[in-house]
A = this chain, B = another copy of it.
Amino acid sequence: MSNDLPLTKEMILDAAEQVLRRFGPDKTSVVDIAKVLQVSHGTVYRHYPSKAALREAVTERWLVGCISAPLAEIVHDEKGSAAERLYLWLSTLRKSKRDYFMKDAEMFAMYAAETQDSVEIVTAHVNHLIQQIAAIVEQGILAKEFKPGQPEVIARAIFLATSRFHHPAHAKQWLSEGEEEDFRAVWELLLRGIT
């Protein structure tokens, strides 16, 4: 990459992600990222004031692009009942998390660390996911498939009640025997609660 091109935030995040994957969050420095971009570290700092801010921005981009954007498609797809879409939504979230935990360990570890440290981006991400569930729940209530209720409250309860299956603190358990059966049991209990 040459320093003749105007430096965009996207270019900085691409370089940061590449370096973070290679060295891990602890060993990555802004100087390393600047080197990849062939710019001074001051130039990077003009866009992101700290390494923490860069790490947050990379995690946030990953959360949106890899986790919430694919789920939005399920919300907007009009096929199937609300229950079917809700099940597909939860299963897709679980699958994404499990796949990244197994195949993209660096990004997953960074995301898991951010859920501990950086409350803001994770809260925004969670609220965004809850709004997606709420949209499905609302469709279900309007279609009289689900019992009446406040979609946002029900959606938040569904998200929290399935934490065991998508919160990164439980990642090790996702690979355990009986995990699928456990998810089915929780899903059926929740479904009985909303239909």
Which residues of chain A have a CB within 8 Å of any CB of chain B?
Answer: 116, 147, 153-154, 156-158, 160-164, 167, 169-170, 172, 182, 185-186, 188-194
Please report whether the interface of chain A is mostly helix, strand, loop or mixed according to DSSP.
helix
B164–A160 touching, CB < 8 Å: yes
What chain B residues lie within 8 Å of A169 (beta carbons)? 167, 169-170
B185–A156 touching, CB < 8 Å: yes
A188–B116 touching, CB < 8 Å: no
What chain B residues lie within 8 Å of A188 (beta carbons)? 157
Instruction: Please give 6 more A-B residue pairs, beta carbons under 8 A apart, in addition to A163-B163, A190-B193.
Output: A157-B188, A158-B189, A160-B185, A161-B164, A161-B190, A189-B194
Q: How far is the CA of A194 from the CA of B190 in the complex (A)?
A: 9
